[in-house]
Amino acid sequence: MKQTYRISYAFAMLAILDLMAYTQVVIICLTNNPAFTKLPVSLADLQLLLQALQDANNNYNAGGGPELLALRDEAQQALIVALRKTAAYVQSESVESLSKMLSSGFQNVPPPAASGPLAAPNILKVMNNGTTQVVLRLSPVANANSYEIQWTTDGGKTWVSGGISSQARRVVVTKLIPGTVYTFQARALGGSTGASIWSNPVSIMAT
């Protein structure tokens, strides 16, 4: 019997700024994603709903008041509804493939308990993402609930945390110095040991 996977709808409980960041990741990951070509909510419409929430949140923060709060809440709910529809479609298309599911930017429901140590992820690709940023694409690891990045610029004498990402397809590391060569490693978090070993290092010069 094949293992099946479910998308987590915990995004509906995120704080507004976190929800907006989560939605942006989903939009990026679904853009030109050949696995999901019949989205129930177009990415253009999802982007409009995201922008509407950003505007409503800015207006509320600037002026306050019950009316602006109500408008913000309505915009938030509209975005959540659209994300739920999109998540249901993505799950229907990837219920037996965790890597396919994670490629959408949505997170899966983690298993109740991991049965053993995690495998180390592979850094499949690393590329510049404009100035001072790079994007890493990792291989998904079964039973991992997140991925940790570290980097060095001195040949491994000193390692600096690059943050933790909930998904493997797109991990963004920011605040890098242009012209500096960075060497990255990644590891999976979760499982019975808490973390996998670090991946093989991959280097790139930041722009």
pLDDT tens column, 80-117: 999 999 999 999 999 999 999 999 999 998 766 545 78
Q: Does the structure show a pLDDT above 80 at 126?
A: yes
Q: What radius of gyration do the chain's Cα atoms show?
A: 19
**49 has a pLDDT exceeding 50:** yes
As a whole number of angstroms, the distance between CA 58 and CA 45 comes to: 20
**Percent of the chain at pLDDT above 90?**
78
Residue 21 phi/psi, 5° resolution? -65, -40
pLDDT-derived band at 130, boundaries 50, 70, 90: confident
Confidence band of 20 (pLDDT split at 50, 70, 90): very high
Closest CA relative to residue 29, chosen from 134, 104, 139: 104
**Residue type at 156 in one-letter notation:** G
**What's the pLDDT at 75?**
97
Q: Name the band, by pLDDT with cuts 50, 70 and 90, for residue 194.
A: confident
Residue 142's nearest CA partner among 72, 191, 204 is 191
At 71, list the tokens: 């408008």
> Which SS3 state, helix, strand or coil, does residue 35 take?
coil
pLDDT of residue 109: 87
Q: Which CATH class is domain 123-205?
A: mainly beta
* Residues 61-77 pLDDT 10s: 998 788 999 999 999 99
Query: Residue 1: pLDDT band by 50, 70, 90 thresholds?
Result: low
With tokens 């942006």, the residue in question is 24
Cα distance between residue 182 and residue 56, in whole Å = 39
Q: Count other Cβ atoms within 10 Å, centred on residue 76.
A: 20
